[in-house]
Amino acid sequence: DGGITQSPKYLFRKEGQNVTLSCEQNLNHDAMYWYRQDPGQGLRLIYYSQIVNDFQKGDIAEGYSVSREKKESFPLTVTSAQKNPTAFYLCASKRTGNTEAFFGQGTRLTVV
Amino acid sequence: QKEVEQDPGPLSVPEGAIVSLNCTYSNSAFQYFMWYRQYSRKGPELLMYTYSSGNKEDGRFTAQVDKSSKYISLFIRDSQPSDSATYLCAPGGEGNFNKFYFGSGTKLNVKP
């Protein structure tokens, strides 16, 4: 079955540690996205990538980093520089030129 | 000014009621208007999308766009308890359709 997979579903980390969230898709989509969702604020764009080895900052990129070494994979690293990292993180992908984005099931990150 | 404004609710209605969900947006260049449905602790799923102004109907759901007033609506007829979810509007379409902006989402509860 084609789809987009995020792992893990729940993640706990100590303050000051970097953590990497995984996102893999087998839909052959060119574009991939990372969003952060906080209560009452909807989805905010962190980073997006339209092609392998290229990515752009979204609206809230500070304290995050990404890589796009393969078309299928777009991991997100939450660094210790991110002031308030506890949130629900959503990865999405879509075919360039299409309107529909497909979302993963999300990773809930809690930093203690 | 936010790109998209959406009343967060929660909105509670009895089963069978007609539901109206609304968003306003600020960018007149937006051409595509999406509605996503998100169940608790899940990723959003595309419900409907419309292009430019006008109405689009799909079963019990009707999406409506008024570009002159930058106002988008989703109507749900004969609402069911299974419709209980958060509904996010997402206008966009700039940059080869690679960037969309999400509203904060309206939480809907349909009571049996």
What pLDDT, on a 0 to 100 scale, did the predictor assign at position B106? Answer: 94
Each residue's pLDDT tens digit, B56-80: 999 999 999 999 999 999 999 999 9
For chain A, give the mean pLDDT: 92
Backbone angles phi, psi at B95, to 5 degrees: 60, 55
Identify all chain A residues contacting B43, using CB atoms and an 8 Å cutoff: 6, 90, 92, 103-106
Per-residue pLDDT for B97 more than 60?
no
Is the preceding peptide bond at A85 cis, omega within 30 degrees of 0?
A: no
Alpha helices for B64-110 (secondary structure H): 94-97
Residue A28, pLDDT > 70, answer: yes
Confidence of residue B28 (pLDDT cuts 50, 70, 90): confident
Q: Closest Cα of chain B to A32: distance in Å?
A: 9
Distance CA A14, CA B44 (A): 28
Radius of gyration of chain B (CA): 13
Q: Alpha carbon of B28 to those of A31, B68, B71: distances in Å?
A: 24, 9, 11
Smallest Cβ–Cβ distance between A90 and the set B43, B99, B103 belongs to B43
Over 70: is that where the pLDDT of A1 sits?
Answer: no
Cβ neighbours of B45 in A, within 8 Å: 103
Q: What pLDDT, on a 0 to 100 scale, did the predictor assign at position A62?
A: 96
For residue A17, give both structure tokens. Answer: 């540690």
pLDDT tens digits, A74-105:
999 999 989 899 999 999 998 877 778 899 99
The yes-or-no verdict on residue A70 having pLDDT over 90 is yes
Contact B8 A40 (CB under 8 A): yes
Task: Show the DSSP H helices in chain B as ranges.
Answer: 94-97
